[in-house]
Amino acid sequence: MPVKYVLYIKAKLRIQILRIAMRLREILEQIVANGNSVLLCDSNNEWEASELLENLVEIRLKVQAHMVPGLYIAEISDSGYLGQVLYRIKSK
């Protein structure tokens, strides 16, 4: 695959991710507003979205993130690509 084509795909993917990125606060508020009965899991604990909204520091809530319903919430890296998975989404 030519390098130019690969760079084009990466650039197009970055644009699409930036369009769907939200702040972590907005994602958690959306989960609470929809009344979704899910738990958000990291490597140590499981929380409800409302608990995270109450307990996370403001800097963490301002992180750009993307949610794939039923799977995970991932951070958006500074370069605009999907980064580290913040929380796995688990049904209650």
pTM to 2 decimal places: 0.76
Q: How far is CA 7 from the centre of its chain?
A: 24
Cα gap 13→82, rounded to integer Å: 10
Q: Are 65 and 24 in contact (CB under 8 A)?
A: yes
pLDDT in tens, 1-56: 444 444 445 555 554 555 567 899 999 999 999 888 899 999 999 999 999 999 99
Token readout for 51 is 């608990």
Query: What residues contact 51, with CB distance under 8 A and at least 6 apart?
Result: none
